[in-house]
Structure 1
Amino acid sequence: MIHSSAIVARNSIIEKGARIGANVRIGPFCHIQANVEIGEGTVVLSHAVINGHTRIGCDNLIDRYSSLGEINQDLKYAGEPTRLEIGDRNRIGQRATFHRGTVQGTGVTQIGNDNVFMNQVHIGHDCVVGSFVHLALGAALAGHVELDDFGQVDEHSAVHQFCILGYASQVLAHSCVVQDVPPFTRVQGNRCKALSVNEDALTSQFEDEHLRQVIRVLYYQLYHGGDALNEVKAALLLMQKEYPHLSCFERFFARSTRGIVR
């Protein structure tokens, strides 16, 4: 079903069963398959392919030659009706590739809202990407990666499968992540090592200088204090009672299984 206000180029293919919302614009030479839903106000530029059971929210921009909802690269995949779900107001650059989930994972690759994915970004199967994240040119997430809100992956960096990138963390350019990155931590290298607190994120997230200092102290305890990780976690639970914003650390450690970058 194509809404009467949608504008679709004559040489694009919209398969029967696709749902195209109000004020959607689809440029030339696109292919939208049968199980795709595109929300109001989304713009799809030329030569994009959107397939699988893919749901795209409102007011997104999908640039040229992107491939969304493609068959994943897990060799166990046998054509199951797994999904890709994309939220609202995302900017997806040229030649981006987002893969649908697998039944061995959660069955869905999830993308939040207000994200920026620059050209040639890859999101693997079963990834969970939050909101307000930024992936630079050529950044790639392997399968099952979790990237929390306000995270950043700089150009030509890659993240190993099952890794977790915590809230407002940053992976600097040309890096390879093979372990989990705690919130507000800036990492770099092949394989990544912790460099510092992500001061830019601290400044943008919190006006309270005292809270920013608490997070700096927590980073010091994790990387320079000599305390065991379990001791840092115990101290974190106590600090969280006074500083609820630190709950992002508790959520991170509750999921972390690969160990943290050092």
Structure 2
Amino acid sequence: MTRIHATALVDPRAELADDVQVGPYAVIGPEVRIGPGTTVGPHTVIEGRTTIGRDNRIFQFASIGAISQDMSYAGEPAALEIGDRNTIREFCTLNLGTAKEDGVTRVGSDNWIMAYVHIAHDCRVGDHVVMANNTTLAGHVRLGDWAFIGGLTGVHQFVHVGAHAMIGFQGHVAQDVAPYMTVDGNPLTTRAVNLTGLKRRGFSAERMAVIRRMHKLIFRDGLTLQQAIEEIGKLRGQGGDADVQVMLDFFAASKRGLVR
């Protein structure tokens, strides 16, 4: 049977796998579904139409699935979907989506979400993302796989942060951050390729060379962004085709301008 502490309040309509653990004074609402191997810490509140996958670890005092902080929200159907093997630390807040998109906030798998992180309505967080303490995502933010967000960073609504990008401590992120890049400073500036992160993930020398060439085209050669995109397309066939496509797809979806 599920291991639910005697002081926890779990609605009988909630669907919990048999081995889910629920700590003291936690509250779980009627539309919540939680997969096997997941633990819910003391005093955590999980509400709304929230689906949580397997082997997640949710620490004490988290608020999962509350309605959005969007003042125009009027009770439309909304949901939160969380994948597998995520760590969600103390006092994190993850909100439901809104009707402004498809009504769903989505968090992928294998993410490391530190204390006091806020993930607002309609965000899309990929896999293997790290968000350090007090990271704040406004509504509709996109974080690509393996992105790293430094502590005390605020990300403006609708901003896209590309895969494998790294944002330094206390970033003020009001424009899109290109994949594979490291940004920091005030105002925020793209400094270099995130070489340390890519090496840790086993990127080959060929892939690294293509990524460094893309960095040069976008940030160092004095090209317009459109010219740089055209030149990036010509890098196919040099050992980094998947990375070239990631970059091109990122720019195709970019809405806020680019941190340069």
Cα distance change on mapping 1:206 and 1:232 into 2, 3 Å: farther
Q: 2-side partners of 1:113 and 1:105: how far apart?
A: 21
* 1:115 aligned residue (103, 107, 111): 111
Calculate the TM-score normalised by the size of structure 2: 0.96
Q: Which moved more, 1:238-247 or 1:57-66?
A: 238-247
CA distance in 2, matches of 1:184, 1:62: 29
Matching residue of 2:149: 153
1:169 equivalent to 2:165? Answer yes
Tell me: CA distance 1:157–1:125, structure 2 relative to 1, closer, same or farther (3 Å).
same
Structure 2 contact 217–231 (Cα < 8 Å) conserved:
no
User: Which 4+ stretches in 1 moved above 3 angstroms?
Assistant: none
User: 1:260: which partner in 2?
Assistant: 258
Distance in 2, Cα, partners of 1:251 & 1:110: 20
Helix, strand or coil at the partner of 1:219? helix
Shift of 1:23: 0.7
Cα deviations by residue, 1:107-134 (Å, 9 ceiling, x for unpaired): 1000000000001111010000000000
Contact 2:105-2:123 at 8 Å conserved across structures? yes
**Whole-angstrom distance in 1 between the partners of 2:154 and 2:143:** 12
Give the C-alpha shift of residue 241 in structure 1: 4.3
Work out which of the residue numbers 240, 245, 248 in structure 1 matches 2:242: 245
Structure 1 Cα separation of the partners of residues 34 and 52 of structure 2: 5
8 A contact 1:52–1:81 mirrored in 2: no
Aligned to 1:239, the other structure's residue is in SS state coil
Indicate if the aligned counterparts of 1:38 and 1:55 stay in contact, CA closer than 8 A. yes
Q: Secondary structure of the residue that 2:190 maps to in structure 1?
A: strand
Q: Which amino acid aligns with 1:257?
A: K
* Separation in 1, partners of 2:104, 2:237: 34
Q: Secondary structure at the match of 1:227?
A: coil
Contact 1:151 1:166 in 2 (8 A): yes
The answer as to whether partners of 1:71 and 1:100 remain within 8 angstroms in 2 is yes
Counterpart CA distance in 2 for 1:240 and 1:260 is 23
What's 2:39 paired with? Answer: 43
Cα distance between partner residues in 1 of 2:32 and 2:23: 16
Deviation at 1:106, TM superposition (A): 2.4
Q: Equivalent pairs: percent with the same residue?
A: 37
CA contact (8 A) 2:111 2:130 kept: yes
TM-score, normalized by length of structure 1? 0.96
**Residue 185 (structure 2) aligns with:** 189
Deviates more, 1:189-198 or 1:94-103: 189-198
- Return the alpha-carbon distance in structure 1 between the equivalents of residues 77 and 53 of structure 2: 19
Paired AA for residue 216 in structure 2:
Y
1:11 & 1:239 partners in 2: Cα distance? 60
d(CA) in 1 for partners of 2:207 and 2:11? 53
Q: Distance in 2 between matches of 1:241 and 1:124?
A: 39
Q: For 1:84-115, what per-residue CA distance to the aligned partner results, in whole angstroms no more than 9, with x for missing partners?
A: 00000000000000000000122100000000
In 2: Cα distance, 1:192 partner to 1:34 partner: 43
Range moving further from structure 2, 190-199 or 225-234:
190-199
Q: Is there any run of 5+ residues in structure 1 with no aligned partner, and where?
A: none
What letter matches 1:259 in structure 2? G
2-structure distance, mates of 1:210, 1:107 = 41
